[in-house]
Chain A
Amino acid sequence: MGEEAQPARTSAEEMVAERGEYRYGFSTPIEADRLPPGLDEEVVRFISAKKGEPGWLLDWRLAAFRAWQQMEEPTWPHFTYGPIDYQGVSYYAAPKQKPQSLDEVDPEILEMFEKLGIPLQEREALAGVEPTIAVDAVLDSVSVKTTFRAKLAELGILFMSFGEAVREHPELVRKYLGSVVPHTDNYFAALNAAVFSDGSFVYVPKGVRCPMELSTYFRINEANTGQFERTLIIVEDGAYVSYLEGCTAPMRKDNQLHAAVVELVAHADATIKYSTVQNWFPGDKEGRGGVYNFVTKRGKCLGARSRISWTQVETGSAITWKYPSCILQGDDSVGEFYSVALTNNRQLADTGTKMIHLGRNTRSTIVSKGISAGRGQQTYRGLVQINKKAVGARNYTRCDSLLIGGACGAHTLPYVDVRNGSATVEHEASASRIGEDQLFYLRQRGLSEEDAVSMIVNGFCREVFKELPMEFAVEARRLLEVSLEGAVG
Chain B
Amino acid sequence: MSETLLELVDLHAEVDGKPILKGLSLALRAGEVHAVMGPNASGKSTLSKVITGHPDYRVTGGDVRFRGASILELTPEERAHQGLFLSFQSPVEIPGVSTAVFLKAAVNAVRRARNQPELDAAAFLRLAREKSALVQLDKELLSRSLNEGFSGGEKKRNEIFQMAMLEPVVSVLDEPDSGLDVDALRIVADGVNALRSPERAMLVITHYQRLLDHLPADHIHVLVDGRIVRSGGPELAGEVEAQGYAWAREAAAGAAP
Contact = CB atoms under 8 A, between A and B. Distances in A.
B76 interface: yes
Contacts of B74: 7-8
Nearest to B84: A444
A459 B145 CA distance: 8
A50 interface: no
Given A1-B70, A462-B96, A446 B88 contact: no
B132 interface: no
A445 B55 contact: no
Contacts of B96: 458-463
B70 A446 contact: no
Interface residues of B, number: 42
B77 A448 contact: yes
A340 to B, nearest CB: 12
Given A2-B63, A448-B109, A7 B97 contact: no
B109 A451 contact: yes
Given A6-B58, A446-B113, A451 B105 contact: yes
Contacts of B56: 436
Interface in B62-104: 62-63, 70, 72-77, 79-81, 85-86, 88, 91-92, 94-97, 101-103
B223 to A, nearest CB: 21
B238 interface: no
A7 B76 contact: yes
Interface in B110-152: 110, 113, 145
- List the 7 closest pairs (A to B, CB-CB), nearest first: A459-B96, A459-B97, A462-B96, A5-B72, A445-B106, A443-B76, A7-B53
Given A440-B76, A446-B107, A459-B97, 17 more contacts: A2-B62, A2-B63, A7-B74, A440-B55, A442-B94, A444-B85, A445-B166, A446-B106, A447-B105, A447-B106, A448-B77, A449-B75, A456-B94, A456-B97, A459-B145, A460-B96, A462-B96
20 contacts: A1-B72, A2-B63, A2-B72, A6-B72, A7-B53, A7-B75, A8-B73, A437-B92, A440-B76, A444-B52, A444-B77, A444-B85, A445-B106, A445-B109, A448-B109, A451-B109, A455-B94, A455-B97, A455-B105, A459-B97
Interface of B: 52-56, 58-63, 70, 72-77, 79-81, 85-86, 88, 91-92, 94-97, 101-103, 105-107, 109-110, 113, 145, 162, 166
